Structure 1
Amino acid sequence: MNNKPTIHDIAKALGVDSSTVSRALNDSPRVTKATKVRVLAMAAELGYQRNMLASNLRKNVTNTIGVIVPRISRHFFSSAIQGIEETAYLAGYNVIISQSLEQLERERKIVEGLVANRVDGLLISVSMETVDYRHLEVAKNNSIPLVFFDRHCGISGYSNVLIDDFKCGFDATEHLIFKGCKRIAHFSGSQELEIYKNRFNGYKAALAKHNILFKNEYVVNSRLMEQDGYLGMQNLLDNQQEIDGVFSANDVTAIGAMKCIKERQLKIPEDIAIVGFSNEPISQVIEPSLTTIDQSGSEIGKTATELLLEYISKKEIPVEGQTIILNSKLIERNSSKK
């Protein structure tokens, strides 16, 4: 038996209409301040609790944001989620966090589930398999705004919060060149994704600026796991590629490459200097410590959430998206200090 007090119990206790109680609880201007005080006091006395879910659904809002990331275990994404949650909380929103695990089909099902649960907006960093974006149209078709962060899609009509991946790729490669490296390998992710395509193009641009010949055999494409870095470096060394520098599109792959280099009795950075990307916490404590690009994950999450909340408050999906570029920086550590 359900003994939870209702607005009808409050109305009976005060001798007023239920509609008056409902308006008072919703802070309606049609109810006097004195009546609101009496209703709130009686509600507290009876232990009344509002059904916020039902109330929000009547208003066609849930005060909930859906967030989809490739892997929560990656420091960048956990940092971005921190920025998202803090910003959403201050605005009165809850956050539902899901991970695609770099799988398009999983990402598609998550998007459908979040839309079915009527989230007010979506923040997404797409998976490595996401080259077809039709599954994202379900959000737009249900008037749910969507903002990409970090990994984005090169399609019009959506907003993005990013860093300048081209510049970061250029800066990382040029840093190695300034350290005397001439034969620089690049560990990259899927070239179907704008983020890795831009880092790769930055790498090539730095080589061109300094009149260093680009060699396709120096480029290793993978899913950027630690094992990929190890096997990629193993393959380069086994094929007599006399590289003296590596720019990796993330830190974990760089760390895998470093393990292989050490096993071959080569020295870092004397024989091969290395620059990673994303400033994972482990990058500071491994030996040698890893030079890397800091992405400001928390700031990206905060900015993306602020932009999404702006769209939610306007109750409209922008016809033309906007792109916000945030600053990043190279952190020099021992892996490149020749």
Structure 2
Amino acid sequence: MDSDKITIHDIAKLLNIDSSTVSRALNNSPRVTEKTKNRIIAKANELGYQRNHLASNLRLNKTNTLGVIVPRISRHFFSSAIAGIEETAYKLGFNVIICQSLELLEREQSNINTLLANRVDGVLVSISMETENYDHFEGLKQRKIPFVFFDRHCNIPETSSVLIDDFKAGFDATEHLIIKGCQSIAHFSGPLHLEIYKNRFEGYKAALSKHNLDFNDALLFSSRLMEQDGIDNVNKMLALSFRVDGIFSANDVAAISAMQQLKREGITVPKDIAVVGFSNETISAIIEPSLTTINQPGFDIGRSATELLVSQIKNGTKHTTNEHIIIHANLIERNSSQKGKQPKD
């Protein structure tokens, strides 16, 4: 007999007892005597019986499964966040289904439908760069499926999130460049309809204002912050009629490709132009010059977001909304921002 197909009915037939008694025994019910219970468990083990946890959970209207949507698994921050999510979910008795939107709204909407079809108990999501329509999240609310934003979020009433203080991080990155001697600082921003990039931009402007430097909108370059965007932004920046001596990029990918393009143009980082990135990608510490960046603790963010979501799932209809957790992010100073210094060979 195939052990994968053994049912409680098979065990009941072999022992000549009711299926309901087998079910109670396997669920450790006090309604079954210890002698009968031991006999049933022994036969179940002998046959290699495995409980169908999915069917059991569905009867209880839960699957103990969390859905996760990220823009790109390949990004260090998101892979770190997923590690924090999976480890925490496992400890709390939940499985995880991971989807990626690839920065596309349509795919993000499809991800939501896939997770609904798999009857997840809750969703963790970091939205795509295209996401301006939030109807698919309203659909989750209507179905009473809790969800928590992490990193990238939407301003939807009665939702929860786990974030860093993007305003302060943007301020710290820009002030660091100013302290190092930069006076004309370009900002490579992501799409400004997204809260994280809007807040990093506001932090950039606040640092300029604190140090009596005027904001010049010619120094704002908004893009999807992909590798090619870093190159294109540098080319646009170098075409300006005035000199730029610093770059604050809202992610490391664009910062690194920008440094490579500057090198191709014969411009030395950090002697001529200092650079600060954001997110502390693994490569940031080993490129030359090494990249000064804002460290986003992805694992901690993933862990906190999972704990918050599971607490909402377990509280059911009484779950707390509008709960926002801020995780500390710090600037890691490396060689790319040491203004006036030659990079190491």
The amino acid that maps onto 1:331 is I
d(CA) in 1 for partners of 2:212, 2:267: 27
Partner of 1:14: 15
Taking the aligned partners of 1:115 and 1:95, their CA distance within structure 2 comes to 13
The whole-number CA distance in structure 1 between the counterparts of 2:12 and 2:153 is 52
Unpaired segments ≥5 residues, structure 2: 340-345
Q: Distance in 2 between matches of 1:41 and 1:2?
A: 17
**5 Å matches for 1:177-216?**
177-216=178-217
1:250 deviation in Å? 0.2
Q: Separation in 2 of the partners of 1:25 and 1:306?
A: 30
Change in 2 beyond 3 A, CA 1:96/1:76: same
Give RMSD over aligned pairs.
Answer: 1.5
Cα deviation for residue 142 of structure 1 reads 1.7
- Residue 246 (1) aligns with residue 247 (2): yes
Which residue in the other structure is 1:37 paired with?
Answer: 38
- For residue 260 of structure 1, report the CA deviation from its aligned partner: 1.4
Unaligned stretches of 5+ in structure 1? none
Q: Give 1:114 deviation, angstroms.
A: 0.6
Q: How does 1:80-119 map to 2 (within 5 A)?
A: 80-119=81-120
Residues 144-194 of structure 1 show CA distances to partners (whole Å, capped at 9, x for unaligned) of 110000001112110000000000000000000000000000000011000
Say whether the 8 Å CA contact 1:66–1:121 is kept in structure 2: yes
Give CA deviations for 1:197-233 in whole Å, capped at 9, x if unaligned: 0000000000000000100000000001011011101
SS at match of 1:315: helix
Q: Would you say the 8 A contact 2:26–2:37 is kept in 1? A: yes
SS of equivalent to 1:265: coil
Residue-pair matches, total:
338
Secondary structure in 2 matching 1:31: coil
AA matched with 2:252 = D
> What secondary structure does 1:276 align onto?
strand
Q: Which residue of 2 aligns with 1:336?
A: 337
Partner of 1:303: 304
Q: CA deviation at 1:259?
A: 1.2
**Is 1:163 the counterpart of 2:168 in the alignment?**
no
- The match for 1:327 is 328
Q: Distance in 2 between matches of 1:285 and 1:140?
A: 44
The alpha-carbon deviation at position 319 of structure 1 amounts to 6.1
Partner of 1:66, secondary structure, is strand
Aligned match of 1:64: 65
Report the secondary structure of 2:326's partner residue.
strand
Distance 2:242 2:82 in 1: 40
TM-score w.r.t. structure 2 length? 0.95
Conserved? CA contact 1:251–1:280, under 8 Å: yes
* Cα distance between partner residues in 1 of 2:38 and 2:97: 35
- One-letter identity of the residue aligned with 1:156: P
How far, CA to CA, are the matches of 2:262 and 2:35 in structure 1? 76
Aligned to 1:129: 130
The aligned residue for residue 56 of structure 2 is: 55
